Amino acid sequence: MSDVLLKVEDLHTYFYTYEGVVKAVDGVSFDIRKGEIFGLVGETGCGKSVTALSIIGLIDEPGRIVSGKIIYKGKNLLELSEEERRKIRGKEISMIFQEPMTALNPVYTIGDQIVELLLLHEEGIANIKRAPKELKEEKKKKAIEMLKLVRMPDPERTIDSYPHELSGGMRQRAMISMMLATKPSLLIADEPTTALDVTVQAQILNILLDMKEKLGISILLITHDLSVIAEVTDRVGVMYAGNIVEIADTYALFDNPRHPYTVGLLQAIPSVTEKKEELKYIRGSVPNLIYPPSGCRFHPRCDYMMPICKKEKPKLVEIEPGHYVACHLFGGE
Ligand code: SF4
């Protein structure tokens, strides 16, 4: 499909630990279309962050991508040299993290860090000290515009601040504007709002929506929070224990969830409009991924478990246009 920007096909990423092989991502497939926000949701440890790190090429020892394809603009990223991947990572695919301090340099002002990226990506100048003064001034003006784009309060003043002088929400804005300096086609946002309070969280989500709508950037949004998914995503993939169990348009997923795990997740959200006797929860706990359950990995926790569920892993099948489910209840054999 021509509107697909990135396609992940049957990705397996394992970690080789002393305790055994952790099958963190075990046969994940999905695609991200141009100009959409695709959400990946699931509990901690389900493999969503490992999927993101696999896409951007930041899986370190003892981890390894064992098999699969990550096709970006028609090229399988896993077949490129480290040098070619680094170019794509710096320029076309960017990532923002939960804790912006990991990406910001504490000894440089926000302005210097954005100007440095603009000089590198627009002029090919790697060292800010080597750039002519006028060029630096020009890039600084541009950096202020970029801070305005991410709704940074008082950007003319903030540009000369050091990261530690800013609040968590302002640091997150600074990191997003740095990412924008490289004009990425795809932004991966891993729990970008988890560490922020609710008001700031809403502001950062609005910035992500702006980036999609005004700049046409595709976004892969990783979160454990279904309310974040409902707020901004166009489509969503639900992950459980290293597998994708359901993919649908966000509206369809909330309106008509089909996989028993998705149903359980949605029932566990407190409602302000309905009075519930008791909040529902999914019984049992997330499995150990060194020794994952056979067949469907959700079977020990599923109320609909059938004999086949223990034996065969269900395939992701399209049950309605654009709505995919991996469950034997829907013929996923
Ligand atoms: Fe439940 Fe079986 Fe469906 Fe897994 S495949 S979610 S165990 S019904």
The CATH classification number of 1-92+186-333 equals 3.40.50.300
Q: What are the φ/ψ torsions at residue 209 (nearest 5 degrees)?
A: -65, -40
Q: How confident is the model at residue 1 (pLDDT cuts 50, 70, 90)?
A: very low
Average pLDDT, integer, range 301-325: 95
Cβ–ligand 1 distance for 282 under 6 Å, the answer no
> What pTM value is reported for the model?
0.91
Nearest to 10 by CA among 65, 56, 92: 65
d(CA 147, CA 227): 27
Q: Which among 140-149, 174-183, 200-209, 250-259 has the top mean pLDDT? A: 250-259
Per DSSP (E only), the strands in 42-131 are: 63-72, 75-76, 93-96
Question: Among the atoms of ligand 1, which is closest to the Cα of residue 328?
Answer: 5
Helices (H), strands (E): how many in the chain?
11, 12
Question: Among the atoms of ligand 1, which is closest to the Cα of residue 330?
Answer: 3
d(CA 254, CA 261): 13
Nearest to 262 by CA among 41, 28, 11, 48: 41
Greater confidence (328 vs 284) lies with 328
Q: What is the whole-number distance in angstroms between the Cα of residue 185 and the centre of ligand 1?
A: 37
- Per-residue model confidence (pLDDT) at position 149: 87
Q: Which of 302, 308, 313 to mutate to test the pocket of ligand 1 (most atoms within 8 A of CB)?
A: 302
Cβ–ligand 1 distance for 173 under 6 Å, the answer no
Cβ–ligand 1 distance for 328 under 6 Å, the answer yes
Nearest to 176 by CA among 94, 233, 251: 94
Residue 22 identity (one-letter amino acid): V
Greater confidence (274 vs 50) lies with 50
d(CA 90, CA 97): 15
Cβ–ligand 1 distance for 329 under 6 Å, the answer yes
Task: Supply 234's token pair.
Answer: 């166009």
Residues contacting 159, CB < 8 A, separation 6+:
109, 110, 111, 114, 140, 143, 144, 147
Q: Using CB atoms within 10 A of its CB, is residue 200 exposed (0-12), middle (13-18) or buried (19+)?
A: middle
Q: What is the whole-number distance in angstroms between the Cα of residue 115 and the centre of ligand 1?
A: 52
Q: What is the whole-number distance in angstroms between the Cα of residue 260 and the centre of ligand 1?
A: 7
Task: Supply 198's token pair.
Answer: 């609710």
Tell me what percent of the residues of the chain surpass a pLDDT of 70: 96
Cβ–ligand 1 distance for 298 under 6 Å, the answer yes
- Domain boundaries along the sequence of the chain: 1-92+186-333, 102-181
Q: What is the whole-number distance in angstroms between the Cα of residue 328 and the centre of ligand 1?
A: 6
C-alpha torsion sign, points 306, 308, 309, 311:
positive
Q: 297 with 309: CB under 8 angstroms?
A: no
Q: What is the whole-number distance in angstroms between the Cα of residue 232 and the centre of ligand 1?
A: 29
Q: Which of 261, 282, 296, 313 to mutate to test the pocket of ligand 1 (most atoms within 8 A of CB)?
A: 296
Nearest to 297 by CA among 247, 257, 241: 241
326 DSSP β-pair partners: 316
- Per-residue model confidence (pLDDT) at position 76: 96
Average pLDDT, integer, range 221-247: 95
Q: What are the φ/ψ torsions at residue 193 (nearest 5 degrees)?
A: -115, 0
Which residue's entry shows tokens 């595709």? Answer: 218
- Judge if the upstream peptide bond of residue 62 is cis by omega within 30 degrees of 0: yes
- Per-residue model confidence (pLDDT) at position 16: 97
Q: How far is CA 127 from the centre of its chain?
A: 31
d(CA 179, CA 196): 19
Cβ–ligand 1 distance for 260 under 6 Å, the answer yes
Residue 279 has pLDDT above 80, yes or no: no
- Per-residue model confidence (pLDDT) at position 194: 80
